[in-house]
């Protein structure tokens, strides 16, 4: 892996080659794409991304927490090439191949306290959620599901019906899937969700015998990188057990080593009945999975399937990814701890950084205007752009949080470079937005 590199900006991005591609792209691509900033990638290596004009960027967003092993990890590339040279497709729903069985075996081996499991392979996170939604209804024969405010589960109909993070993801797509109840995401500050269900919802709105499942991100992703108290997840587990409700963990963003455990469930010690995986699983290749207790994955032959899900090239990428990530878990935890301590030191110097939180390399820094406590939305938008100009790739989430979700192969050097550039940006932006301590911010 390339070590001790620094970002290198040769031409202010977007340079001429990038601008030409952006121009072509804009003419023909859907206006629904977000395009956070004008990064036009030519290649990547480890945590480094090179644009078409020869600039080198340090990647602390990993293509939305997906390039888990870094860009073009040689073991993953080699596995993909070897699989592609054998056969590209035969359809795992209808036929057999070894890598499909091997990946399902591997995924079924995680979270051993869940007991025996069965696995269904998908092409994406949203498909895993969609399938899990069908599974919990089919298994329980119950119609309602519970989800949380701030949640993001994907872009298909079942998933957007569970979402409650940005209204634009749902607007004018209705009617959505009925029967979804949204509660506040559990934090140290929100009221007790279990109490709200037992004492209010289950008495006034919905009989718990009609509730199929609770879908929850064990760490809130797009909604702001929020870590719930373990007690809240334990409470949900107990509630589910009391009423025969299934607990589904969406580990699409938090899974595959991101938290320093293979799955965030281990961090909290709470076992779900079903968990969904994608993103980091294939290092960027399109693969996801629904992993369920054997006694829950009871849907009959033909009830669910997929042409491409568990494609052999993607299975090979996933197996190689798991091989790379498993031995890194301890380092991920330590690097994350190091990064949070450096961010907290930076917070002392920049009061606009209101909170630093996270587990492993799933780290959020929330920005609030010190004078009013309001989300520093424009500040965070400007920070993303300025960091990009300096050669650092960042991505926001929630109202005004920067998420740090680098490739899992980063070490202290990359963290130091990231923090140095971040602080350069904050010094400039604190002045621009008038939020520096020197400008009259009153510390409490």
**Nearest CA-CA partner of 102 in 112, 90, 87, 92:** 92
Residue (311 or 331) nearer to ligand PLP, CB: 311
Shortest reach from residue 155's CB to ligand PLP, in Å: 6
**252 binding ligand PLP? (CB under 6 A):** yes
Nearest to ligand PLP of 249, 379 (CB atom): 249
Between the alpha carbon of residue 172 and those of residues 148, 150, 167, the distances in Å are 20, 19, 10
d(CA 402, CA 416): 17
Whichever of 159 and 240 has its CB closer to ligand PLP, that residue is 159
Q: Tell me the number of residues near ligand PLP by CB under 6 A.
A: 15
Stretch that binds ligand PLP, among 67-75, 191-199, 234-242, 248-256 (CB under 6 A): 248-256
Instruction: Report residue 247 as tokens.
Output: 């607990």
CB of residue 66 vs ligand PLP: minimum separation in angstroms?
8
Decide if residue 63 touches ligand PLP (CB under 6 A).
no
C-alpha distances in angstroms, 356 versus 220, 258, 352, 401?
14, 17, 11, 9
CB of 308 to ligand PLP, least distance (A): 13
Spatial separation of the C-alpha atoms in residues 296 and 111, rounded to whole Å? 15
Considering the complex, what minimum distance in angstroms separates the CB of residue 324 from ligand PLP?
20
Identity of the residue, 154 or 358, whose beta carbon is nearer to ligand PLP in the bound complex: 154
Among 7, 15, 92, 221, binds ligand PLP (CB under 6 A): 221
Question: With DSSP H G I counted as helix, E B as strand and the rest as coil, what are the percentages for the chain, rounded to 5?
Answer: 40, 20, 40
Which spans in 29-144 are helix H? 62-65, 74-86, 98-109, 125-140
Question: Which residue in this structure is represented by tokens 């107990």?
Answer: 238
The residue among 36 and 42 lying less far from ligand PLP, judged by its C-beta, is: 36
Q: Which of 153, 237, 258, 340 binds ligand PLP (CB under 6 A)?
A: 153
**In whole angstroms, how close is the CB of 223 to ligand PLP at the nearest point?**
9
Instruction: Please check whether residue 154 is in contact with residue 313, taking contact to mean a CB–CB distance below 8 angstroms.
Output: no
Q: Does 222 bind ligand PLP (CB under 6 A)?
A: yes
Residue list 403-432, contact with ligand PLP (CB under 6 A): none
278 touches ligand PLP by CB under 6 A: yes
Using CA atoms, how far apart are residues 275 and 296, in angstroms rounded to an integer?
12
The nearer residue to ligand PLP, 165 or 335, going by C-beta atoms, is 165
**Nearest distance, CB of residue 278 and ligand PLP, angstroms:** 5
Query: Which listed range, 42-50, 77-85, 96-104, 214-222, lies at the site for ligand PLP (CB under 6 A)?
Result: 214-222
Q: Which two tokens stand for residue 312?
A: 């052999």
Rounded CA-CA distance 157/177 in Å is 7
Sort 101 into a burial class: Cβ within 10 Å, 0-12 / 13-18 / 19+.
Answer: middle
Residue 108 vs 276, nearer CB to ligand PLP: 276
* Shortest Å distance, C-beta 372 to ligand PLP: 30
Give the nearest distance from C-beta 213 to ligand PLP in angstroms. Answer: 15
- Name, in order, each residue with C-beta under 8 angstroms of 221's C-beta and a sequence gap of 6 or more: 65, 152, 252, 253, 254, 397, 403
Residue nearest to ligand PLP (CB): 125
Which distant-in-sequence residues (6+ apart) come within 8 Å of 95 by Cβ? none
* Radius of gyration for the chain, computed over Cα atoms and rounded to the nearest angstrom: 22
Which of helix, strand or coil describes residue 375?
strand
Tell me the closest approach of the beta carbon of residue 125 to ligand PLP, in angstroms: 2
Is residue 204 packed enough to be buried (19+ CB in 10 Å), middle (13-18) or exposed (0-12)? exposed
Contact stretch for ligand PLP (CB under 6 A) within 136-144, 180-188, 225-233, 247-255 = 247-255
Nearest residue (CB) to ligand PLP, 64 versus 72: 64
Torsion, Cα 284 127 84 86, to 10 degrees, reads 150
Residue 386 host element (H or E): helix 377-390
The residue within the footprint of ligand PLP, chosen from 53, 130, 250, 273 (CB under 6 A), is 250
Q: In the stretch 105-134, what mask flags binding to ligand PLP with x, by CB under 6 A?
A: -------------------xxx--x-----
Identify which of residues 240 and 277 has a Cβ nearer to ligand PLP in the complex.
Answer: 277
Residue 423: which of 350, 316, 341 has the closest Cα? 350
Minimum CB distance to ligand PLP, residue 253 (Å):
4
What are the residues binding ligand PLP (CB under 6 A)? 64, 124-126, 129, 152-154, 217, 221-222, 250, 252-253, 278
């Amino acid at each position: 892996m390339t070590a001790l590199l620094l970002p290198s900006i040769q031409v202010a991005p977007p340079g001429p080659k990038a601008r030409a591609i952006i121009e072509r792209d804009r003419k023909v691509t859907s206006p629904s794409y977000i395009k956070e900033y004008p990064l036009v990638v030519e290649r990547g290596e480890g945590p480094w991304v090179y644009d078409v004009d020869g600039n080198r960027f340090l990647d602390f967003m990993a293509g939305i927490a997906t390039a888990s092993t870094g860009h073009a990890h040689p073991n993953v590339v080699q596995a993909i090439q070897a699989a592609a040279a054998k056969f590209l497709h035969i359809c795992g729903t209808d036929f057999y191949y070894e890598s499909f069985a091997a990946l399902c075996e591997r995924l079924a081996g995680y979270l051993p306290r869940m007991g025996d499991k069965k696995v269904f392979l998908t092409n994406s996170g949203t498909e895993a959620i969609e399938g899990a939604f069908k599974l919990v209804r089919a298994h329980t024969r119950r119609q309602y599901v519970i989800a949380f405010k701030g949640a993001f589960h994907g872009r298909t109909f079942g998933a957007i019906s569970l979402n409650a993070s940005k209204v634009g993801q749902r607007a004018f797509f209705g009617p959505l899937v009925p029967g979804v109840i949204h509660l506040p995401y559990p934090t140290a500050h929100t009221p007790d969700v279990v109490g709200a269900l037992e004492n209010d919802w289950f008495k006034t709105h919905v009989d718990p015998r009609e509730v199929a499942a609770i879908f929850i991100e064990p760490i809130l992703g797009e909604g702001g990188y929020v870590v719930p108290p373990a007690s809240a997840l334990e409470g949900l587990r107990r509630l589910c057990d009391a009423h025969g409700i299934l607990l589904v963990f969406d580990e699409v963003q938090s899974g595959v080593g991101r938290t320093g455990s293979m799955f965030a469930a281990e961090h909290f010690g709470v076992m779900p009945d079903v968990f969904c995986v994608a993103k980091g699983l294939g290092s960027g290749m399109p693969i996801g999975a629904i992993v369920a207790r054997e006694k829950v994955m009871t849907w009959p032959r033909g009830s669910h399937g997929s042409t491409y899900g568990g494609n052999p090239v993607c299975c090979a990428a996933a197996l190689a990814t798991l091989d790379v990530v498993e031995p890194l878990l301890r380092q991920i935890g330590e690097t994350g701890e190091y990064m949070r301590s450096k961010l907290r030191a930076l917070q002392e110097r920049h009061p606009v950084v209101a909170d630093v939180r996270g587990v492993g390399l799933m780290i959020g820094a929330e920005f609030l205007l010190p004078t009013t406590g309001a989300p520093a939305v424009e500040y965070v938008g400007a920070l993303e752009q300025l960091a990009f100009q300096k050669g650092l790739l960042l991505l926001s989430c929630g109202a005004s949080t920067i998420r740090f979700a680098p490739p899992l192969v980063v070490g202290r050097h990359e963290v130091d470079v990231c923090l140095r550039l971040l602080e350069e940006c904050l010094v400039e932006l604190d002045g621009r937005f008038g939020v520096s301590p020197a400008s009259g911010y009153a510390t409490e």
